[in-house]
Structure formats: C-alpha cells, structure tokens
Amino acid sequence: MSMAAIAKGLTTYVVPPRWLNRSDGRTHAARYCYSVYMRHLLHLHAVDADTNPHTIAEIGPGASIGTGLAGLIAGAKRYHGFDIKAYGSSPQNLAVFDDLVSLFKSRAAIPGTDEFTNIKPAIETTDFPRHILTDERLAQALADDRLARLRAALTPEGIAASDAPISYVAPWFEDAQLSRGSVDWIFSQAVMEHVDDLEATYAACRAWLAPGKAMSHQIDFKSHGTASTWNGHWAYSDSTWRMVRGARGYLINRAPHSRHRAAMAAAGFDILEDFRVTRSDGLGRARLAAPYRDLAEDDLTTAGAFIVARAPA
C-alpha cells in the first residue's frame, strides 16, 4: 500500500477538474500508433480475422486518433473513436497523419521495444507485413486523392461534415452510439483496464460488431503507479481504493484477466487468442485484500493480455 498514492488521490478533490486524468497515453507519436496498429494487424492475421475491415472503431484513443488513422491509411473507410475525455486536437491529428503516411509509403519496419518500452502485444518479426499489406492493396490505399480526402476529414471543417469518414465521441457512455452490426473491427490499447463498466462496454462492442468480425484489446493488469509492486493495487481494501481514486474520472478498474474473459463471454464473444504476459514476483496472495486473495492462480500471475474475440457468424 502506498501512502503517496492515497495522498495523491485525496488531492484530486481540491484541484480543478481539468487537471485530472491528464495522462493520455503515447499516441502523440505516429511511430507508436504505427507500431500498435501493425501489432494488432499481425495478431488478427494469425487467427484468420478480417485484416482489411471497412469500418473500424477504437475505445480510448488518447492523445491522438493515430492508431485509427493507421487503420484508415491502410484501407479502412470509416473510423469511430470513443474516449471518456476529449484529448486530441486537429493539429495533433494532422501531424500524426502526415508522419503515418510517410511510414506506410516507405514500408517502414515496425518500431520495437527498444523505441517504445514495453509496447505490446509481442510480435515475431518487426519486418513490414508485406504479406498482409500487399503492394496491390497499398497502391489503392495510398492513392493521392484518397489520402487527400482523409487528411481533409481531419480539419475542423472536415470533422463537422455530415458524411465525415471519421467520428470522435468523448465522453461516450451509451451503447446506442453506433448501429448494430455496423463495425468490422474494434480495438483498444492500454484502455480496458481503465474502463469502469467492463460488462456494458464489451456488450456495446458485441452490438456494434458485424457477425463474424473481431475485436482486439491489449490490456495491462499492473498497478499503474498506485503501488510499488506490479500487483499492489489488489492490496487495497475497497474503502482505501476509493481514496486512491479520489475524484478522477477514471483510474484502473482492478479487474483481473478472468473478469475480462467472463465479460466477453457474457456478451456473446468467442475468444480466438489470449496471449498472456505472466509474472511471478509481486505481493503474495496473503498480502492481498479480499476478494483478491482468492484470485485463481492464473489471474494472480497475469500482468498483461492481448485478447482477440469474435462475434459469432
């Protein structure tokens, strides 16, 4: 348990709300977005999921919608971003877009963990995936007029257009945001560990996805600075945890790996891949708070997971 984390939580009640939840991830950098997109793409390919989706949606894009922009540049026609807080700006997105276009045009290798510490999911090779993003596919996707249309959609006027290929909603909370079965791929990176209502969010994903289409989520179960050990967030009682969270709009939900799997199954998903990162250090079971001390051994050692799940055909 960290007194500093509790003190930090308590100060959130006395600072202006705009100072809270200012951590917006790593999507400022086009190379990070490119790396995340490519990692999801390679894993989707490995399980025979759709790697050339028409409509894509992202939960929690953070600083920019760059990972979704990578998906659009690679061929998708529509993108929907849903965050709890509006972080992105038009100039930021335009800068990321331009850098992404250069990366795709040069078939750049996938940036690795030497550049972005701990980036996940792991991949076998950082080579540009020419077997998925073939020259034929990219000749169409990177056509000048297509890229110009996408870029125009990122300007304030473009975003406001009624037929815009890009939509961004923050905050979002209702499952009525998109029509049923209208999305071909949903993804998130370092987000689902923050989402308070996991069950409702996976149910919304299930409603939005077209039959047979997949979602992919990289989830980090670690303590996110709330404790000195990776699993120390499970040592707080619920009442102390409320102090750690304070007035923040989100922190981490403390849900272990199995709860994500259960919520996905309850929403009707079939899990195609569940690529876990395990750790054996951290606090022992006896030092955790109830109910965490009763976690299954798998949950107790799962520090991260990349899960691909499919809506039934």
Q: What is the DSSP letter of 110?
A: P
Q: Is 82 one of the binding residues for ligand SAM (CB under 6 A)?
A: yes
Q: With CB under 6 A as the rule, give the number of residues binding ligand SAM.
A: 20
Whether residue 171 is preceded by a cis peptide bond, meaning omega within 30 degrees of 0, is yes
Distance CA 8, CA 257 (A): 27
The string of DSSP codes covering 2-22 is -HHHHHHHHHTTTS-GGGSS-
Question: Measured from the CB atom, is 195 or 307 closer to ligand SAM?
Answer: 195
Nearest residue to 244 via CA among 5, 49, 77, 52: 5
- Out of 38, 100, 166, 190, name the contact with ligand SAM by CB under 6 A: 190
Question: Measured from the CB atom, is 150 or 195 closer to ligand SAM?
Answer: 195
Question: Is the separation of the CB atoms in 54 and 76 below 8 Å?
Answer: yes
- Candidates 18-26, 38-46, 49-57, 297-305 — which segment interacts with ligand SAM by CB under 6 A? 18-26
Q: Is 225 one of the binding residues for ligand SAM (CB under 6 A)?
A: no
Q: Is 254 one of the binding residues for ligand SAM (CB under 6 A)?
A: no
Residue at 309: amino acid letter: A
Least Å from the CB of residue 243 to ligand SAM: 20
Nearest position to ligand SAM, beta carbon: 25
- Out of 30, 39, 44, 61, name the contact with ligand SAM by CB under 6 A: 61
Least Å from the CB of residue 150 to ligand SAM: 20
- Out of 62, 81, 282, 304, name the contact with ligand SAM by CB under 6 A: 62
Q: Is 214 one of the binding residues for ligand SAM (CB under 6 A)?
A: no
Distance CA 244, CA 312 (A): 39
Residues 6+ apart with CB under 8 A from 224: 193, 233, 251, 252
Q: Is 195 one of the binding residues for ligand SAM (CB under 6 A)?
A: yes
Question: Measured from the CB atom, is 202 or 300 closer to ligand SAM?
Answer: 202
Question: Measured from the CB atom, is 171 or 212 closer to ligand SAM?
Answer: 171
Least Å from the CB of residue 104 to ligand SAM: 19
Residue 195 token pair: 């989402």
- Out of 8, 20, 25, 152, name the contact with ligand SAM by CB under 6 A: 25
Encode 182-193: b = buried (16+ Cβ within 10 Å), e = exposed: ebbbbbbbbbbb
Least Å from the CB of residue 262 to ligand SAM: 18
The string of DSSP codes covering 263-305 is HHHHHTPEEEEEEEEE---S--GGGSPTTGGG--HHHHHEEEE
- Out of 30, 56, 84, 283, name the contact with ligand SAM by CB under 6 A: 84
Q: Which residue, chain included where needed, has tokens 């600072």?
A: 15
- Candidates 190-198, 265-273, 280-288, 300-308 — which segment interacts with ligand SAM by CB under 6 A? 190-198
Question: Is the separation of the CB atoms in 288 and 239 below 8 Å?
Answer: no
Least Å from the CB of residue 27 to ligand SAM: 4
Nearest residue to 307 via CA among 276, 278, 263: 276
Note the residues at the interface with ligand SAM (CB under 6 A): 24-27, 59-62, 82-85, 87, 189-191, 194-196, 250
